[in-house]
């Protein structure tokens, strides 16, 4: 499990380093997740240690929402002042994501022909 955690943190460090060197406007952990994803695709999936580390982290997933909750409390006045643009951004981005994912899945997984139909 320790090797799996080390791999996750190394990918995050690589992402942070890459983002700072290239100056791209992407969070370092997101770039690290992309690096980890590419590594997993090339390796054909996670090994035992990485699987155990990921499963262990999932058990504490709810703790990762604590910083977001603190941010909501800290920036309460800003949220009260700008609630409409924030709400519009959340709704539009959620709908755009759902439409894009639906379109991509539709392209990836062809619909099965109806029984008794001409296909």
Task: Tell me the residue range of the domain where 91 lies.
Answer: 70-119
**Shared-domain flag, residues 8 and 54:** yes
Residue 64 lies in a domain: no
pLDDT in tens, 104-114: 888 887 666 66
Domain count, the chain: 2
pLDDT in tens, 3-53: 999 999 999 999 999 999 999 999 999 999 999 999 999 998 888 889 999
**Shared-domain flag, residues 79 and 44:** no
Residue 40 lies in a domain: yes
Residue 65 lies in a domain: no
Question: In angstroms, how far is CA 32 from the centroid of its own chain?
Answer: 11
pLDDT in tens, 53-103: 988 888 888 887 888 888 888 988 998 999 999 999 999 999 999 999 999
- CA 25-26-29 angle, to 5 degrees, is 150
> Final residue of a domain: which of 59, 85, 101?
59
Helix H, strand E, coil C: the string for 46-99 is: CCHHHHHHHHHHHCCHHHHHHHHHHHHHHCHHHHHHCHHHHHHHHHHHHHHHHH
**Shared-domain flag, residues 48 and 76:** no
């Amino acid at each position: 499990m320790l090797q799996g955690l080390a791999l996750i943190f190394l990918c995050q460090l690589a992402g942070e380093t890459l983002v700072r060197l290239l100056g791209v406007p992407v969070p370092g952990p997101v770039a690290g997740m992309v690096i980890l994803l590419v590594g997993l695709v090339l390796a054909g999936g996670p090994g035992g240690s990485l699987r155990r580390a990921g499963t262990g982290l999932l058990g504490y997933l709810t703790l990762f929402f604590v910083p977001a909750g603190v941010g909501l409390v800290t920036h309460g006045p800003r949220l009260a002042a700008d609630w409409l643009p924030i709400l519009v951004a959340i709704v539009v981005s959620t709908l755009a994501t759902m439409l894009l994912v639906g379109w991509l899945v539709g392209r990836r997984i062809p619909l099965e022909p109806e029984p008794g139909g001409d296909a």
